[in-house]
Amino acid sequence: MGVLIVGQRRPAMEGLVSCRARVELRLIVVPGRTVAVSDKGVAARVDLGEALAAKAALEDAGVNALDAVILRHAEAQEKKK
């Protein structure tokens, strides 16, 4: 009689830290103080240290916010044409 034992291991999460970040960006028309576009970006990252996780989360949130602001500004410019 043969026996087969199959198992699956999930990666250990010991020692890992998660951080969330939120970044808000405003595109301000110069000269003046008119806010043309504003948007936010949020992200979360996990890493071995809090500083590393926080930095990565802020970078990701910044990229998300910048992409959203650029897209909204481009759409607004297209509507003006």
Question: Residues 14-58: pLDDT tens digits?
Answer: 688 899 998 888 888 888 788 888 888 899 999 988 888 899 999
Please indicate, yes or no, if residue 6 is contained in any of the structural domains.
no
Please indicate, yes or no, if residue 53 is contained in any of the structural domains.
yes
Please indicate, yes or no, if residue 2 is contained in any of the structural domains.
no
pLDDT of residue 44: 93
**What is the extent of the structural domain holding 50?**
17-80
User: pTM of the predicted model, to two decimals?
Assistant: 0.73
Helix (H) or strand (E) holding 80: helix 50-80
Please indicate, yes or no, if residue 1 is contained in any of the structural domains.
no
**How far apart, in whole angstroms, are the C-alpha atoms of residue 30 and residue 59?**
26
Please indicate, yes or no, if residue 8 is contained in any of the structural domains.
no
Please indicate, yes or no, if residue 50 is contained in any of the structural domains.
yes
Q: Structurally, how many domains does the chain consist of?
A: 1
pLDDT band at 81 (very low <50, low <70, confident <90, very high): confident
Please indicate, yes or no, if residue 10 is contained in any of the structural domains.
no
Amino acid identity, residue 21?
A
Please indicate, yes or no, if residue 4 is contained in any of the structural domains.
no
